[in-house]
Chain A
C-alpha cells in the first residue's frame, strides 16, 4: 500500500512537472515571442520546426552551450545558489494545484494538502531570497538596485495577494484546493456563479467582492512574478537587466524559466480559485462529490479543461505585458500600499457583511 502511494506520487510528479509544466514553460516563452510579434505587426520566431515551435529547444541548447561566466568580483556561493532559489520554489508550489479531478481512482494533485493556498504563498515568498541573493552577490550596482526593488515590491504585494483571497476562503470555508474546485463545479465558479447554489441573490452579491478580489489578485500576481507593467527589478532602460545582469548561460536561463514557471503557477492558482479549476461550466461532467468515482474519460477532459484555462490565462499575461507601459517606482509602491492593501481589507469586510446579512 505504501509503495503504491509513492509510485503514484512519483508518476504524478514526473508527468505533471517534468512532462507538462517544463514544456509549458518553454512553450510560453515561444508564445510570448509570437504574440508580441503579432501585436507589433512582426512575424516572430518561425524558422525552427513548424511555426517555430521548436524554438524553445534551440534556445535551450544555446543556453547550455554558452559560456557559464562567473565574474571575479562576485560572492561565489550565493551567486551560484541564487538561480536555484528562484527556480525551485516556482516548481515546488505546483505540488498543491489540482490539475484534474481523478484518473483511475487517483486524485490528480501531487500533494492533497489541507492548506493549499497558504502553502503556495509560503513557498512562493522564498523566491525573494533568490532575487536578493542574486542582487547582492553579483556585487554590481545594477544588480543591487534590481534586487532591492524586487524585494520591496514582492513584500508589498504579497500582503494584498494574501488578503485578496481571504474573501474566497470565507465563502468556501475550506483551504483544500481540491475541495474548493469541487465546490465550484457544483455551485458555480467564483467569478461566474450561474448554476447550483451560486445562482441566488447571495451568490450573485458575493460575485462583487470576488470580482474585486480577482482584480487585486491578478494585479498582485503580475507584481509578484516581476512582469510588466511591474517589471521594475529588471527594467532594461534603467538597470541593464536588474538582478540578473551578471548572470550568463544556464544560470540566466534558470532566472528566466523561474519567472515563467511562477507565471504558470500563478495562472494555475488564479484559475483554481476564481475560474473553477478543472471543472466545466454549468456543472457538466461534474463529479457527485469529492470522493465519487469519476470515469477515466471525464478525468482526461477535466485535465484538458484545466490546461486550456491556464493557457488562456497565460495568453492574458502575455497580452497585458505587451500592452501596458511600466509604472514609476513611487506609483508602484503607492498602488500596493495605498490602494490594493486597503481595497483588499475593505473587501474582506464587505464579504463578511454579505455572508452575515444575506
Chain B
C-alpha cells in the first residue's frame, strides 16, 4: 500500500528561502568558527604526527619472528603459517638443527624465512596458527621499498622487527 506523505505546509516567510539561507549559514559558520578556533580536530598531520601513539592494542601490523628469553629462535620450521597464509606471502625453507647445537632437541629451525610484504594482507592467521607462538603481528605499518625485492622481509629483518618475547604470551587474549 502506498503511503502518502504530505508535503509540509510552508508559511509565507518560509517560501522566501531567505530564513533557510540564514539557518544554513549559521550551521556552516558555526563549523567554520569552531574549526578555526581549533575546537574540532579530526585530521592527523601524518608525517609529523605518527599513528604510533594512537594505535589500538589489537592493531595488526607487519608480521615478525621473535626469540625467547634464552635467545633461541622460537620458530621450529613447522610451516603451518606458510600453509595457512591466504595470499601465500610466507616462504619457509626448514633445516635440521645439528646434534652438537645447544638446542638440538628442538630438531628443526627455519633456514630461510621470507615474508613478501607486497602480498601480506595482515590477516593475522599466521600468528593464530603458530603452535610455538613464534610469529606475531607488530605495530609497524609503514613498510616501504623501492623495489619488489626490497619488500620481501627475510629472516634477519623479521627478527629485527620482532625482537625478544619472554614467557608464555597469552595468545588467546580476546583482543588479539
Contacts and interface: CB of A to CB of B under 8 A. Distances in A.
Interface in B4-55: 18, 21, 24-25, 27-29, 31-32, 35-36, 40, 42-43, 45
Interface stretch (A39-47, A188-196, A231-239): A39-47
Interface in A29-52: 35, 37-43
A42 B32 contact: no
A42 B28 contact: no
B43 A43 contact: yes
Q: Give the most central of B25, B31, B32: most A CB within 10 Å.
A: B32
Contacts of A322: 28
Interface of B is mostly: helix
A284 B82 CA distance: 82
Contacts, number: 35
A291 interface: no
Contacts of A41: 31, 35, 40, 42
B29 A319 contact: yes
Q: Give the most central of A319, A322, A323, A324: most B CB within 10 Å.
A: A323
Contact of B28 (A37, A39, A43): A39
Interface in A288-332: 319-320, 322-324
Nearest to A229: B21
Contacts of B35: 37-39, 41-42
A319 B28 contact: yes
A322 B28 CA distance: 8
B31 A40 contact: yes
B21 A324 contact: yes
A43 to B, nearest CB: 5
Contacts of B29: 39, 319
A323 B40 contact: no
B33 to A, nearest CB: 8
Contacts of A37: 35
Nearest to B44: A43
Interface in A245-286: none
B36 A38 contact: yes
Contacts of B24: 323-324
A182 B73 CA distance: 88
A295 B28 CA distance: 42
A274 B21 CA distance: 21
A222 to B, nearest CB: 12
A38 B43 contact: no
Contacts of A324: 21, 24
Contacts of A319: 25, 28-29, 32
Contacts of B31: 38-41
B29 to A, nearest CB: 7
Contacts of A35: 32
Interface string A41-69: 11100000000000000000000000000
A116 to B, nearest CB: 29
21 contacts: A35-B32, A38-B32, A38-B36, A39-B31, A39-B35, A41-B35, A41-B40, A41-B42, A42-B42, A43-B45, A215-B18, A319-B25, A319-B28, A319-B29, A320-B25, A322-B28, A323-B21, A323-B25, A323-B27, A323-B28, A324-B21
Q: Which 8 A-B pairs have the closest CB atoms?
A: A323-B28, A323-B24, A38-B32, A43-B43, A39-B28, A38-B35, A39-B32, A41-B40
Interface of B: 18, 21, 24-25, 27-29, 31-32, 35-36, 40, 42-43, 45
Given A38-B32, A319-B29, 17 more contacts: A37-B35, A38-B35, A38-B36, A39-B28, A39-B31, A39-B32, A39-B35, A41-B35, A41-B40, A42-B35, A42-B42, A43-B43, A320-B25, A322-B28, A323-B24, A323-B27, A323-B28
